[in-house]
Structure 1
């Protein structure tokens, strides 16, 4: 009961639980999607399909990371304006975020992915069987990317205002329909053709389109804290300055992160299709464990931004510290499950004993990552909510490019540690990032970042 009556904890859980529920169930839906592909009757096609999804996810995530860099600015600005009662500035900020993301990232990157599909997949280290089976899937996913980017932008602005329930309801609803659509189109149920991985791509892209329609319908009808109208767009230099000041370091952080992940994926891909399929299963499971840190990090961003907007820096620090405590407990419980029940969890994805053995051993290393990963995600979320995006950039650059990529090459290629060696490098990367972000947070300098 104390968790829900303490005022700080009550605010944290009010904002964090819808995000956590959305992310956990969204990750479970994503895991189910991969399980469906991994358990197709043709085991060779199943392994190639899982690997193709993993290969496709990397450039897709780069695009989403760039979108999110502008969204970080949108979340911080909306939170500040809500906290300082400058509600008249919120709508125009949201319009800036949406239009800039469409023009700078969503549309251009979608076209590039559609046109240069084979070249991108080959660069990512895909083998010929993976490119052949994943080509059309990649094209379909990149068309859906435009709507996915829109959804991310709207959700980020809503969360900055503390409205985490609307994105949760919409995403859970369309994800449920996506899982159903995947089953129908992958396996050819109810008279539909059996499309395999192509069916998964069609269902996923249609779900993003549906989510965009629902979100915009709610917002235009004024059913949320953040509302939009068809009034003319007013370009504002101060808004652009704030988005650039917050967004440029955030975008560089995301570029560093995704570049590092791409290089990391290429190193693991050198181990072969079966091992890379095991790696993708580990990444899918890891996505589940990221969720508490990300959810409480989003809560920290909103609450820190609103507190600083209301000129209450000490309260902002309380919010950040409380979100870290709760999020870390949740992540540690998930870590324990990974450590104890790795083979059983991996067995949900595949029947291949080699993949199960390799992935479940890597899961034990992933379990050790959890406390440091959760802490750095939450504190970095607090820093971003304050508009302090430079130090998360430094931490990511050093951790991912300086430690993860270099050590994974050493452990995998030189020492021959295999998949476990790759995940040992991830553990050391997360440890370094936690140390740098925690050190910056302890200085308290983030409390004095000013926005126009």
Structure 2
């Protein structure tokens, strides 16, 4: 990478990442869209199941991120043996975690959803969905490990291609299994879950074949026995801080989902639809912030702190324009957009109200996404985690409960609580960045 990194380079770097982020988010959204054509109640069932699965995916993704970082470092040091050891340990850790998560969800899925106050009308379907997808967690965990290895070698197009195949197969599987085809009867929610698992198995098979063919990494039991505790500790030292903020967010959202479930199926369905829609509003912020993180890491390592600040604020402006601009368009065209999923007038009216609040929420979220990654890239890792955990649980969850439940404002009150959390954290991170404290946190 050259020292003359232009503003345009960040945008150019963001597009391949955007495609991959889009594909990652597409799976659950396609599931919920296709099931909405089969049954409106089933949308809430899958929405609750996806909320739980997102926590598992976050944990697997975080561990895989540590794998990518270490492989990239060892690749630079030309230490092939350590690369093989890192891949083996990643597969072991993700495999063990996936098995434990799968067993727990299979044993306690109903108790979990009763705690989340899932309505009795959709409780059975919700449990069915989670039980089936729980069997696929192991395949997903191993898949993430192999993907991390490819990313360590900067082979992003390969993993993107596998994602495309998985998504296309998932859509085909949904079409056949949800509605039925030939001798296959309509399966509804169960069909979505089965299709998801089959696409995960297919993805794992393809990525494993490509791994053996192109990377040439040899993995053996010698890399695991005796257990390389130093490498395991190193992976965890990277994973735990960087994953704390994301995990806290998912857990707080699960708690908020419990509040939403109190208000019945119309509110649950509206919330799920809004989530699907607004993902497209902040998706590009995720992509451009990931590209910026690479640039910031490079510039911090070169002690070019003034250039770092310029790149960060440039990225913040782009994310703000993209996030608030897209959300504003969604608000103005809300009836048309929601009609893709439903014609229920209650959902259309409530959805429009939520999207108005979402405009202000996205203002804070755009700033947070960029500045959190900037702080992490500069070495200031603890600040995003501590601020995130405190604000998400006191402001997002606390205010959502106060406005939504106590003040009886319903879903609008819950959204106001989440909006206040995003905006407050944005103010704190802006102050933190402007203070320059991150300049003393350099890792190398």
Q: Deviations over 1:145-198 (max 9, x none)?
A: 222233334445544554432222221221122112111111113543211111
Measured after TM superposition, the shift of residue 118 of structure 1 is 1.2
Counterpart of 2:33 in structure 1 is 35
Instruction: Give the counterpart of 1:123 among 115, 126, 149.
Output: 115
8 Å CA contact retained: 1:338, 1:367: no
Q: CA RMSD in A?
A: 2.8
Instruction: Give the counterpart of 1:288 among 266, 280, 293.
Output: 280
Distance 1:379 1:75 in 2: 22
Distance 2:199 2:440 in 1: 41
Q: Which moved more, 1:361-370 or 1:162-171?
A: 162-171
Q: Which has the higher contact order (CA 8 A, sep 6+)?
A: 1
Q: Deviations over 1:21-69 (max 9, x none)?
A: 23235545543321221222xxxxx233111111112221122222233
Distance 2:294 2:72 in 1: 6
Measured after TM superposition, the shift of residue 241 of structure 1 is 4.0
Instruction: Give the counterpart of 1:279 among 271, 278, 287.
Output: 271
Instruction: Give the counterpart of 1:69 among 55, 59, 62.
Output: 62
8 Å CA contact retained: 1:80, 1:305: no
State the SS of the aligned residue for 1:221: helix
8 Å CA contact retained: 1:186, 1:199: yes
Change (3 A) 1:420 1:442: same
8 Å CA contact retained: 2:136, 2:197: yes
Counterpart of 1:192 in structure 2 is 184
Alignment of 1:325-340 (within 5 A): 325-340=317-332
Pairing 1:269–2:267 present:
no
Counterpart of 2:219 in structure 1 is 230
8 Å CA contact retained: 1:342, 1:360: yes
Alignment of 1:145-294 (within 5 A): 145-156=137-148, 158-159=150-151, 162-222=154-214, 228-231=217-220, 232-233=222-223, 236=228, 238-294=230-286
Instruction: Give the counterpart of 1:111 among 103, 107, 110.
Output: 103
Q: Which moved more, 1:350-359 or 1:293-302?
A: 293-302
Pairing 1:134–2:132 present:
no
Pairing 1:47–2:24 present:
no
Q: Which moved more, 1:25-34 or 1:123-132?
A: 25-34
Distance 1:277 1:321 in 2: 37
Counterpart of 1:96 in structure 2 is 89
Pairing 1:353–2:345 present:
yes
8 Å CA contact retained: 1:342, 1:361: no
Measured after TM superposition, the shift of residue 102 of structure 1 is 2.2
Question: What residue ranges of structure 1 are gaps of 5+ in the alignment?
Answer: 1-5, 41-45
8 Å CA contact retained: 2:278, 2:327: no
Distance 1:287 1:170 in 2: 22
Counterpart of 1:408 in structure 2 is 400
Distance 1:87 1:266 in 2: 49
Distance 1:433 1:266 in 2: 23
8 Å CA contact retained: 1:28, 1:288: no
State the SS of the aligned residue for 1:351: coil
TM-score (structure 2 length as normaliser): 0.88
Distance 1:307 1:237 in 2: 32
Distance 2:322 2:282 in 1: 11
State the SS of the aligned residue for 1:348: coil
State the SS of the aligned residue for 1:69: helix
Question: What residue ranges of structure 2 are gaps of 5+ in the alignment?
Answer: none
Distance 1:56 1:392 in 2: 28
TM-score (structure 1 length as normaliser): 0.86
State the SS of the aligned residue for 2:89: helix
Q: Deviations over 1:267-310 (max 9, x none)?
A: 11111122111111111222222311222233234444455567
State the SS of the aligned residue for 1:208: helix
